[in-house]
């Protein structure tokens, strides 16, 4: 979705010159496109989608809320910060500054995503396990890939 949004932002704003309206339009198109792509395996593939009755256990539900609350609050605070920053940028500067801020946030999303993937693949416990197992190829791979992420 983010790649589609970045491409459409550039196309609508830089090429067509449509302004701030086009940023919202590109976001809507990006969300719609990813939703449609998510349904394609169910429509054209052999994947079956079944609906069933949901059974909730109170303990499981409380555990879900407990584990997800930090991520929820982080997303809410990030969204509020983005709204406030956009309002301030619109009030104090030009529309192009809001567009630039939007592109920076998309780039930040990519950096965070790739960093999380890297940390998941090359996390310290796996390095310790490979050291115990003497897996030299994985250790050298980790040592080669780690330095660029130290500066993020």
Rounded CA separation 40/108 (Å): 29
Condensed to tens digits (0 to 9), the pLDDT of residues 15-63 reads: 998 887 888 898 899 889 989 988 888 888 778 878 888 888 889 888 8
CA-to-CA distance for 125 and 88, rounded, in angstroms? 43
143 touches 49 (CB < 8 A) = no
Q: Which of 6-10, 17-21, 75-79, 124-128 has the weakest average pLDDT? A: 124-128
pLDDT at 80: 92
Q: What is the pLDDT of residues 115-142, one digit of tens each?
A: 777 776 666 655 555 555 566 676 666 6
């Amino acid at each position: 979705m983010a790649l589609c949004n970045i491409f459409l932002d550039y196309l609508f704003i830089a090429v067509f010159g449509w302004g701030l309206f086009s940023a919202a339009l590109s976001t809507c198109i990006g969300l719609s496109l990813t939703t449609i792509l998510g349904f394609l395996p169910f429509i054209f593939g052999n994947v079956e989608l079944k609906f069933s009755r949901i059974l909730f256990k109170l303990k499981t539900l409380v555990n879900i809320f407990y584990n997800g609350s930090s991520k929820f609050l982080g997303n809410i605070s990030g969204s509020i910060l983005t709204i406030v920053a956009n309002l301030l940028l619109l009030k104090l500067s030009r529309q192009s500054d809001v567009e630039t801020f939007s592109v920076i946030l998309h780039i930040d999303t990519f950096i965070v995503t790739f960093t999380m993937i890297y940390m998941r693949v090359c996390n310290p416990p796996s390095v310790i396990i490979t050291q115990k197992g003497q897996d030299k190829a994985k250790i050298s791979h980790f040592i080669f890939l780690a330095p660029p992420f130290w500066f993020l």
